[in-house]
Structure 1
């Protein structure tokens, strides 16, 4: 059984909305923990927006815990180059969502077998990067289910055999913070491996790249058979020992504000791809018409520099007009296709077709 807290009077936030009042002193009693009801939402853009919006806007007298499950998606770390982290061919073929989050760390794969959590509380220096503090309650409940998990390295939970079952990251404002992570309960590990299987030798950047580790599902190491909803219920029961779990249910106007934030941030190409750090791409292939070697410099997700080399027999003598035409174009298949519409590259590239050139520019897989 659950009870609802009175909803604070909050207006729909801007991205620059002020944060909550200053936190309580370190020696104060811990604020009550409240469960946020995400109402079964599985849209990753909406769940990430919900997490950010509640962090910035809910009553700071409370700590909050949010659980959510996402449809198949790759969640990119704040400082990562999206194109280095995903298998583009697989992602596009399977309609896997790709969304950048607020926190740092590596890319993670989400699906209906993965339960995500987020603890929200006042920001204090001793809590930042203190993953032991935030994962301890989860480890205690997992142990009661027969899953002995330990914190390894900075931010991973591993099972007894050393395989990773959870990755964690954090984000803070000057006054509030969240520590969130994955709980791989019954994730499709084959899909995970395919979605994050990237050919690394064609992109050169200074972005933070993910470190792949051996992974395991909690259902495999726990020795019990149940589904994700049951797993979530057991976690809630273990984390909220009182008879009634305090639950925060968003009003319709608050959901409108979350939806607005999702539209303005988490559904925008400029955030999910364009926010990647600068990187360089080299594409080279030999066609019947000759070898074409393309060097690209990408900044803010757009083509900033491009040079085309090769031994093809172009009839214009220079590829400069094509290079100039492509500068400033978002480095994404549809944007490139649109930019090349109505342009015939064959005289410049010795008879190479537009489709072949487009496939070379944005090679997938």
Structure 2
């Protein structure tokens, strides 16, 4: 069933976002945008601005090739930053916890918004499974003990995370349909494996696409199946709406641009990482807090001298490729001396991998 038929069947309306604020509304948003920061910001906008005690909402969206890390994760440890840069991929940090996920146009994202009291992750996952198995009977889907949706009992096709507030809640999932699994595998390799941190680490799983071959299941097929299932579960008092939304439209969704700017900032994506240290055996250790170098240590047992003057200059420098390169160029003469050999080795190791 296509979206046109859904509009006809449920007497759906295309309306402004204010429709979602009235009593007894059941709303499905279809995002027109594939920039991850825009859709992640729109999730926050709905969470902050819609009275979910009077409305329930579902957002369906996709992203250009992207890696999205959890709120409490470390991007240097969770993904291959050099690979992302070389392949023009996005890196985003979401508001919810949990592990790192990969997005592209072969991956569908769905977000369920409810009041805190109505929140049920299992209910949402069962809705997804019901919708997909009805539409595609060859699928064999189930929920594992980590609240992932798995296919044939062993392949992960969907991961989940949630944000629970005092009044509102949302739960979002990825669904691998026809994603580029080679790109996924390459993107999710760590840039720096020698990191000590208390940041949340991802649990690696075997993954598989729902589609048996390219084009077997289209994005439109999945969007229609999920929309129909969601609307079929509306209670009699709920008036259904489908809204084709531009999540970055600040005129309609006032304040969303500020959220986009925050989620697309270095401060949020990188500096939000919990404190960590990069250790190079027989060389030294570089500690990082708020995305900035906070301490530099030489392993004296390896026979390297300490160079406090240059260490002081490195403190406060961003752990960003451009900033570290600028530091290396500025202090090229000092770094060439034997007493600064360990700092040079630390920088080279980090720059080679980020």
TM-score normalised by length of structure 2: 0.84
- Specify which of 301, 323, 340 is matched with residue 335 of structure 1: 323
CA distance in 2, matches of 1:108, 1:306: 32
SS of residue matched to 1:307: strand
Task: Output the aligned Cα RMSD.
Answer: 3.2
Residues 218 and 245 of structure 1: CA distance in aligned 2, closer, same or farther (over 3 Å): farther
Counterpart contact for 2:74–2:274, Cα < 8 Å: yes
CA distance in 1, matches of 2:279, 2:132: 46
Counterpart contact for 1:294–1:361, Cα < 8 Å: no
**Pair 1:237 & 2:228 matched:** yes
How far residue 205 of structure 1 moved from its aligned partner, in angstroms, is: 0.9
Residues 260 and 299 of structure 1: CA distance in aligned 2, closer, same or farther (over 3 Å): same
Counterpart contact for 2:307–2:339, Cα < 8 Å: no
SS of residue matched to 2:149: strand
The 5-angstrom pairing of residues 281-300 of structure 1 reads 281-283=278-280, 293-300=283-290
Counterpart contact for 2:65–2:89, Cα < 8 Å: yes
CA distance in 2, matches of 1:238, 1:318: 65
- Specify which of 50, 56, 72 is matched with residue 58 of structure 1: 50
Counterpart contact for 1:119–1:134, Cα < 8 Å: yes
Unpaired runs of 5+ residues, structure 1, are 11-19, 25-30, 285-291
The structure carrying a bigger helix percent of its residues is: 2
How far residue 360 of structure 1 moved from its aligned partner, in angstroms, is: 2.2
Q: Report the counterpart of residue 346 of structure 1 in structure 2.
A: 335
TM-score normalised by length of structure 1: 0.81
- Specify which of 10, 13, 24 is matched with residue 3 of structure 1: 13
CA distance in 2, matches of 1:268, 1:252: 18
SS of residue matched to 2:318: coil
**Pair 1:108 & 2:98 matched:** no
**Pair 1:36 & 2:29 matched:** yes
Q: Which runs of 4+ in 1 moved over 4 A?
A: 242-245, 249-252, 309-314, 350-357
How far residue 207 of structure 1 moved from its aligned partner, in angstroms, is: 1.1
Q: Report the counterpart of residue 269 of structure 2 in structure 1.
A: 272
CA distance in 1, matches of 2:17, 2:230: 23
The 5-angstrom pairing of residues 42-121 of structure 1 reads 42-60=34-52, 61-121=54-114
Residues 256 and 354 of structure 1: CA distance in aligned 2, closer, same or farther (over 3 Å): farther
CA distance in 1, matches of 2:129, 2:184: 24
- Specify which of 310, 313, 322 is matched with residue 322 of structure 1: 310
Counterpart contact for 1:313–1:350, Cα < 8 Å: no
**Pair 1:218 & 2:207 matched:** no
Residues 277 and 346 of structure 1: CA distance in aligned 2, closer, same or farther (over 3 Å): closer
CA distance in 2, matches of 1:211, 1:282: 23
**Pair 1:259 & 2:250 matched:** no
How far residue 93 of structure 1 moved from its aligned partner, in angstroms, is: 1.1
CA distance in 1, matches of 2:55, 2:108: 23
CA distance in 2, matches of 1:253, 1:7: 11
Q: Report the counterpart of residue 138 of structure 1 in structure 2.
A: 128
Write the deviation string for residues 228-276 of structure 1: whole angstroms up to 9, x where unpaired: 223222322333249995123566513462222110x211111111111
Q: How many residues align?
A: 333
Q: Report the counterpart of residue 3 of structure 2 in structure 1.
A: none
Residues 312 and 279 of structure 1: CA distance in aligned 2, closer, same or farther (over 3 Å): closer
CA distance in 2, matches of 1:208, 1:37: 31
How far residue 282 of structure 1 moved from its aligned partner, in angstroms, is: 1.2
